[in-house]
Chain A
Amino acid sequence: KNEVEQSPQNLTAQEGEFITINCSYSVGISALHWLQQHPGGGIVSLFMLSSGKKKHGRLIATINIQEKHSSLHITASHPRDSAVYICAAALTGNQFYFGTGTSLTVIP
């Protein structure tokens, strides 16, 4: 059983489409992180959320603590957004549970 589940596993979108990636977790968390992993391995931290909503450019992340659910939205998607998006549940202390990632491909 995975403590963090992401959906969908794979997503293909046309350039310009609005994209939503979902993350559900079963553990009590202190924070939820969204990460972006490009081909070749490098991982970049996008957001850290403990409540509500955060926005950075075309990316929006939301979290519902009661429902143990977070979403990552991409507005006006672009081929350079193609990457694997990973959510990670951060517990108190130093324990992180990572999802298996959502592979996004944006077609021009």
Chain B
Amino acid sequence: EAGVAQSPRYKIIEKRQSVAFWCNPISGHATLYWYQQILGQGPKLLIQFQNNGVVDDSQLPKDRFSAERLKGVDSTLKIQPAKLEDSAVYLCASSLGTGGPYQPQHFGDGTRLSIL
């Protein structure tokens, strides 16, 4: 089966610019996650979708970050305006059904964002 697809793989922008990342989960996976992974740290959940509804966005900096999954399949994550501290790898993951502790998450290769 095809894995989780993310694009772009790399992005370099200047601070205060905007950027968008795209994710296409594994076919049939209802749950989709966006994580931020800063160098040397573990992934931090930004937002979780189940189909096209938001399950958890408590750690999403809503003043600058937004995400959508309009048709319950692929998703976009946007940052506007970007700050230096947003430099990180942005990982998308998906899982079957409603997710939960017993479901493995399948990760994409991530988008490495560098802010100048």
Contacts and interface: CB of A to CB of B under 8 A. Distances in A.
Interface string B54-91: 01100000000000000000000000000000000101
Interface residues of B, number: 27
Contact of B102 (A44, A90, A99, A100): A90
Contacts, number: 64
Interface centre among A42, A44, A50, A96 (most CB of B within 10 A): A96
Contact of A94 (B43, B89, B91, B100): B100
A42 B108 contact: yes
Interface of B: 31, 37, 40-45, 48, 55-56, 89, 91, 93, 98-102, 104-110, 112
Interface of A: 4, 29-31, 33, 35, 40-45, 48, 50, 86, 88, 90-96, 98-101
